[in-house]
A and B are shown apart, each in its own frame.
Chain A
Amino acid sequence: MAIELTLNGEAISLEADPDMPLLWAIRDLAGLTGTKYGCGKALCGACNVHMDGQVVRSCVLPVSAAAGRQVTTIEGLTEDGDHPVQVAWRKLNVAQCGYCQSGQIMSAVALLERVPQPSDADIDAAMSGNICRCGTYTRIRKAIHEAAEDLS
């Protein structure tokens, strides 16, 4: 069936089984591959996107649940990659393989919208759903503080 939603500011219609996870609709049907598959079970955060401003795990969210909603992926966060979180990520060379970082950045952006000056404990609580197998956690903490300063 046709499912209508707004993806990165653009109204689109996806011909999909309503049970298809939003992740695969974004990747295979809409053709945006910045959102990653990591576990398929809401365990790792690689698939995190924003829906109506909230972080959601697109790998377990049926695409039908996104009908009529505003979905933002890493590609839609900014035009040029100049969100303070993205800038801080580059300044501190956070990424190693980079694969999980779309999801990390989407989580971090949502955290800073909710808690503009987060403590380490706030960061740990908000970011522990995002696994990084390369182990960039200590740089992510620093980068979030850096972005928070930039945003303030």
Chain B
Amino acid sequence: MSDLRLINRREFLKRTGQASGGLVLALSFTTACGPAGREPAGGGTVSVAPNVYVNVRNDGIVEIYCHRSEMGQGIRTCLPQVIADEMEADWDRIELIQALGDEKYGDQNTDGSTSIRNQFDLLRNAGATAREMLIAAAAASWDVPAGECVARKHQVHHEPSGRSAGYGELVDAATELEPPTEAAFKSRDDYRYIGKPMDTIDGLAFTTGKASYGIDTVLPDMLYASIERCPAFGGTVASLDDTAALAVPGVTAVFRLPDPTTPLLFNIQGGVAVVADNTWVAQKGREALQIEWDRGANGDHNSVTYREALQESVTAAGKPVLTRGDVNAAFEAADRVHEAVYYAPYLSQAPMEPPAAVARMTDDGGCEIWACTQNPQAAQDTVAQMLGLDKQQVRVNVTLLGGGFGRKSKPDFIAEAAWLARETQRPVKVTWTREDDIRHGYFHSVSAQFLKAGLDENGKATSLLHRTCFPSIGSTFDPNATGPGGFELDLGFLDNPYRFDSMQLETADAKAHLRIGWLRSVCNVFHAFAGCGFVDELAYLAGEDPKDHLLKLLGEPRMVDPSADGGQYTNYGHSLDKHPIDTGRISAVVEKVADMAGWGRVLPAGHGLGIAVHRSFLSTVGTVAQVSVDSSARIVVHEIWTAIDAGTTINPDRVTSQMEGAAIFGMSLALHGEITTREGGVVQGNYDTYPVVRMSEAPDAIHVHVMESTAPPGGVGEPGVPPVAPAIVNAYFAASGKRIRELPLRNAGLT
């Protein structure tokens, strides 16, 4: 009984803000024990919570708590698919409730394509233990062995006696039982929902304007804030004149925010906030601020000169992080060597909904948040530390996210709202403008990549040196970070699957001058761009078809283990036994996508096909692009084919939609995406200067194939992106004979 917390409805609502019938039990999932609840004398419905993810009401509704954030990847559909399937709940009688940020749910950081790949078993267990508890309840009330009972579509049946009872009817009996902590999973053949293309659960809300995002939260008596921040990362206010701002009708106050901390973490980055009666007045007041900035240590950061520094660093000797054989000896002995430097710029996630959050201080001294956050527990931590509260005193309501792409895993914008709520003692909504989002975010790293291969007399590459150089995400957490390291090297670098006799992987230093953070697929973006582009170069040097060359370089099916060559590889937190780097599976993806695209067919004049394959987040994606270049040097992407091996998948339609979206996201960064800096500040500011792909540029078709597999699930949200840019660049080479080694393509004279 020690971990059982019996709380009444009022207390429950206070804690969770979630409507629910009657008595509810909040249980620690792994240590749940004891009678699971019973309605005390006096009205109301009864419910039973076998674990923190499921609550069965006696009106027959199964409440499922979605503890992961929805940002378009479809987790609010896929998560209940798994739980409902395992517990044999009827899809039409579930009610999905978005969970608060709370440690009791385990990891809630919706990042790294982890929801299914890391939590499939946890979700299955949540459903299976609920199912077994209801079976046990039925067996107890019928006085029959549980082994004779089966659960089927919201009912428990006792076949020998022909008795059956609905889940709602079993709630009373279930409250007498100890919830099991483990239960056997259903057989794959019996899945009702897993593996099926269930419709998006929020479809009606999405198409009627009723879906509510962070920016849509409205509280009584709420103030609206807009914040001017220093153009250069780490800078501070030198002087402030807020007279004109305060004179704008509707502006209620101006606050100087706390200066940025070192390391910055997810804390407020300084700035001046204008608080007003509505969003527009806050923005108008902000325009009237007179601020002089001390731009600080990064005030002279210029991306043009920084690029030169990166190129210098990446072409000098690096630090080996994986060594197979002796590449230098191999280069000496080679018939010839081939070298290339690839470059890819800073990027902004630019989700359609900019960062936005509402905060209010509560009567009991806590703080309550509504926000489009990928990481509600990080929001709790950040706000608690800033306000001197316990983590549990910070209540984070997770709204829908209007796109995330990694931006919203950093709760700095939530900290801003919380700080202003404390200062004003009123609810405050902070809404970033698009310019704020593009200029003051956590940027995807700019990167330079050096590759060198030794070729034999037939032009075949037998040795490879790959050196990576970029300012590290680690710099956000450690001001002394000097360059690539840690998990970043897992991301499409140490896991190089190709069969070179000798191979050396190295890092080169790069100091950070902007806030660096995650963007969809993270370092896989530039590692795949350089890696897949260079492999394509090697195909032509060997005089081989790029697809055949890829397959040869992958070699016969084998399991790659980077640690065999000294690489400190962590495989996205999973063992290589469970999630191997299997060149057989990678090759199968190559074969499939080439087949889909009709690889080798005769193309219209000026067209080319390009292929790229990349394993990331434990899944492998192969992409073929068909491109042409028109007379005005405009690159046209006509069609894209994608095959993904993500192991077991939950919803093939959501996997397909993620691949479609990844194709467009990858096209945006291939064709247009570039953040540059001058005097420490970001030059771009909106979708005019930071363009993304529009309908007019979208391919005629994006064809997706999800490979049939019974392997454990891999990631889906991110792995589609990395191969897109190299497939386009390789197709451009096939069409034109010109090799492009930098992004975006508009800088290569292509728009």
CA distance A105 to B197 in the complex (A): 23
Do the beta carbons of A37 and B354 come within 8 Å of each other?
Answer: yes
Residues of B within 8 A of A128 (CB): 694-696
Residues of A within 8 A of B702 (CB): 138
If A37-B279, A93-B197 are given as contacts, then 5 extra A-B residue pairs at C-beta distance below 8 Å, sorted by A number, are A35-B209, A37-B354, A86-B207, A96-B661, A130-B694
Binary interface encoding of chain A residues 112-137 relative to chain B, with 1 for a CB under 8 A from any of its CBs, else 0: 00000000100111011111111111
Binary interface encoding of chain B residues 394-405 relative to chain A, with 1 for a CB under 8 A from any of its CBs, else 0: 000000111111
Do the beta carbons of B695 and A140 come within 8 Å of each other?
Answer: yes
Residues of A within 8 A of B688 (CB): 41, 43
- Could you tell me which residues of chain A, from 26 to 72, have a CB within 8 Å of some CB in chain B? 27-29, 31-41, 43-44, 46
CA distance A40 to B437 in the complex (A): 12
Q: Is B604 part of the contact surface with A, judged by Cβ < 8 Å?
A: no
Binary interface encoding of chain B residues 626-669 relative to chain A, with 1 for a CB under 8 A from any of its CBs, else 0: 00000000000000000000000000010001101111110000
Given A86-B208, A97-B403, A135-B663 contact (CB < 8 Å) = yes
- Which chain B residue shows the least CB distance to A127? B695
Q: Is B7 part of the contact surface with A, judged by Cβ < 8 Å?
A: no
Q: Is A100 part of the contact surface with B, judged by Cβ < 8 Å?
A: yes
**9 tightest A-B contacts by CB?**
A34-B209, A135-B664, A99-B402, A97-B72, A96-B72, A98-B206, A74-B209, A135-B661, A137-B698
Binary interface encoding of chain A residues 66-103 relative to chain B, with 1 for a CB under 8 A from any of its CBs, else 0: 00000001110110010000100110010111111110
Residues of B within 8 A of A141 (CB): 695, 698
Binary interface encoding of chain B residues 693-715 relative to chain A, with 1 for a CB under 8 A from any of its CBs, else 0: 11110111110000000000000
CA distance A24 to B280 in the complex (A): 6
- Which chain A residue shows the least CB distance to B222? A28
Q: Is B144 part of the contact surface with A, judged by Cβ < 8 Å?
A: no
Do the beta carbons of B278 and A98 come within 8 Å of each other?
Answer: no
CA distance A142 to B406 in the complex (A): 29
- Could you tell me which residues of chain B, from 171 to 206, have a CB within 8 Å of some CB in chain A? 197, 199-200, 202-206
Q: Is A151 part of the contact surface with B, judged by Cβ < 8 Å?
A: no
Residues of A within 8 A of B699 (CB): 138
Residues of A within 8 A of B204 (CB): 81, 90
Which of A32, A33, A133 is in CB contact (< 8 Å) with B405?
A133
CA distance A90 to B208 in the complex (A): 11
Do the beta carbons of B431 and A139 come within 8 Å of each other?
Answer: no
* Chain B binding surface, main DSSP class: loop
Residues of A within 8 A of B71 (CB): 97
Total residues of chain A contacting the partner, CB 8 A: 59
Residues of A within 8 A of B281 (CB): 17, 20
Residues of B within 8 A of A120 (CB): 700
Residues of B within 8 A of A29 (CB): 278
- Could you tell me which residues of chain B, from 201 to 225, have a CB within 8 Å of some CB in chain A? 202-213, 215-216, 218, 224
Do the beta carbons of A137 and B692 come within 8 Å of each other?
Answer: no
Do the beta carbons of B687 and A136 come within 8 Å of each other?
Answer: no
Max chain A Cβ within 10 angstroms of own Cβ: one of B218, B352, B431: B352
- Which chain B residue shows the least CB distance to A46? B352
Q: Is B686 part of the contact surface with A, judged by Cβ < 8 Å?
A: yes
Which of B278, B352, B700 is in CB contact (< 8 Å) with A99?
B352
- Could you tell me which residues of chain B, from 376 to 422, have a CB within 8 Å of some CB in chain A? 400-405
Q: Is B351 part of the contact surface with A, judged by Cβ < 8 Å?
A: yes
Sample of 14 A–B contacts (CB below 8 Å): A33-B209, A36-B402, A39-B686, A78-B208, A86-B207, A89-B206, A95-B72, A96-B657, A96-B661, A97-B71, A98-B211, A130-B694, A135-B662, A137-B694
CA distance A40 to B435 in the complex (A): 9
Do the beta carbons of A41 and B434 come within 8 Å of each other?
Answer: yes
CA distance A128 to B688 in the complex (A): 13
Do the beta carbons of B433 and A40 come within 8 Å of each other?
Answer: yes
Q: Is B294 part of the contact surface with A, judged by Cβ < 8 Å?
A: no
- Which chain B residue shows the least CB distance to A73? B209
Residues of A within 8 A of B224 (CB): 28
CA distance A134 to B71 in the complex (A): 9
CA distance A35 to B211 in the complex (A): 11
Do the beta carbons of B694 and A32 come within 8 Å of each other?
Answer: no
Distance in Å from the Cβ of B245 to the closest Cβ of chain A?
15
Q: Is B107 part of the contact surface with A, judged by Cβ < 8 Å?
A: no
CA distance A131 to B693 in the complex (A): 8
Which of B72, B218, B663 is in CB contact (< 8 Å) with A33?
B218
Do the beta carbons of B660 and A136 come within 8 Å of each other?
Answer: yes
Residues of B within 8 A of A28 (CB): 224, 278-280
Distance in Å from the Cβ of A55 to the closest Cβ of chain B?
14
